[in-house]
Amino acid sequence: MATNANVSQVAATAVLNSIFTLANSGTLVLIQEPLPATPETALASDIVLGTFSIPATALSGSITYNSTSGVMEGTLGFTASTVTAAADGTVIFGRLYETGGTTVIADLIASSAWYASATVIVGQYMTANGNLYVATVAGTTSSTGTGPSATTTGITDGTVTWNYVLTGAGAITMSNTKTATGNSLSVTSAVLTTPTAG
């Protein structure tokens, strides 16, 4: 989220608190399709892989300052951290809804750690060497190494092409974004952030 002002930690915390309040008793729907331009964009294919329920208090713990990345951050809570997958596919992002499941709050990028010889689809996110990357050409990652490390576009990794997105990870961290119908689908963490001047 770009900003044209130096936002205080107090203001950034207030923004996050508002988002978490909207999410109280809501849902996080994990989806396979390229990340839409905005949360208001209708889903094209709507391949729902799993739905997580959010408790009456969405914020798990408290909002804290991350001095490394210069953001305020808070963790989204779930009534259960594992659900049964509703379809085969790869989680690209999660759409966060208010109670009732019709009003969208935000779209959250989902990522897993890079691993060797992984089959990757276009739009899939992976983290490697402290960075987040999105696949622009599908393929299979290299059979050796630790994955991409450049902060550019058009990075070749086996037969996959990656673009650097940012330092860090997606808002939703998963051990594996790939799933199959009936399998367990787990979220390791879901962290929402807002920038602050520190």
What's the confidence (pLDDT) of residue 3? Answer: 55
CB-CB contact of 81 with 186 (8 Å)? yes
Q: Domain residues of the chain, as ranges? A: 9-111+170-195
What's the confidence (pLDDT) of residue 146? Answer: 96
| pTM confidence score | 0.92
Q: How far apart are CA 141 and CA 190, in angstroms?
A: 25
Q: How far apart are CA 26 and CA 56, in angstroms?
A: 8
What's the confidence (pLDDT) of residue 76? Answer: 96
What's the confidence (pLDDT) of residue 37? Answer: 92
| Close Cβ partners of 100 (under 8 Å, ≥ 6 residues apart) | none
What's the confidence (pLDDT) of residue 113? Answer: 96
Q: Could you list the mean pLDDT of each consecutive 10-residue stretch along the chain, which spans 198 residues?
A: 75 95 97 93 88 96 91 94 94 96 95 96 96 97 97 98 94 94 94 87
